[in-house]
Amino acid sequence: MRLFVRYGTALEAHQQNLALVLGNGPARLLVKDNDGLLTSPDRLLAEGVAVPDFTDERMLTDDPHALADVFVTITLHLAAAAVAFCALPPARARLLVRDTLGEALAEYGDDPMARLLRARTLGAARLVGKSMVVAGTLVDKARTGARDVNKFYGTSGPNYLRHLPAAIQNMTMRRIP
């Protein structure tokens, strides 16, 4: 959350691209996919961090919505929700992901990036997802809006953090201890 809100950075933080390095000292993050990042030069500079000299300029953007697309699609769907929904019953997984996200965002109060992410996740009727099937076709990129086959996002489905199927709504929900 800190990377997104303070530094305007969204990592393709899923199990294939990242690993925790444990050992002497604090845990470190090993990034295994060097194009799996989108970051805001303006946010980095505002925090006193030099803007990396990436050879692929597609990794840089000051569009907060593009950053949110990566966060929602990768960090929320693949890193958090996929694990939670595989390990827990759907209602409990939904609550865990929603509540954890809400608590993490609460730390940043009314910061514009936190407000944006709150609106794009907890408050959104639909959640963004990768649209690689369309982006990978021969359809003209000007028509699809895709800059890259692997980095094309579009609103694709109902927000599982907000809406529950009727059968689950009727179940008694209790907070995970």
Residue 174 covered by a domain? no
What is the domain extent for residue 63?
2-169
Q: For residue range 12-57, what is the model confidence (pLDDT) as tens digits?
A: 766 677 677 888 888 877 777 655 788 999 999 999 999 988 888 8
pTM value? 0.76
How many domains does the chain contain in total?
Answer: 1
Residue 32 covered by a domain? yes
Q: For residue range 57-91, what is the model confidence (pLDDT) as tens digits?
A: 888 999 999 999 999 988 999 889 988 999 999 98
Specify whether the backbone of 157 is left (phi greater than 0), alpha (psi in -120 to 50) or beta: beta
Burial class from Cβ neighbours inside 10 Å (0-12, 13-18, 19+) for residue 88 reads: middle
> 176: which 2 tokens?
């995970």
Interhelix angle 112-120/90-106, nearest 10 degrees: 170
* Residue 119 predicted with pLDDT over 90: yes
Confidence band of 162 (pLDDT split at 50, 70, 90): confident
| Dist. CA 53–CA 10, nearest whole Å | 17
User: What's the pLDDT score for residue 23?
Assistant: 86
The secondary structure of residue 81, as a DSSP letter, is I
Mean pLDDT of the chain: 82
> 98: which 2 tokens?
């929603």
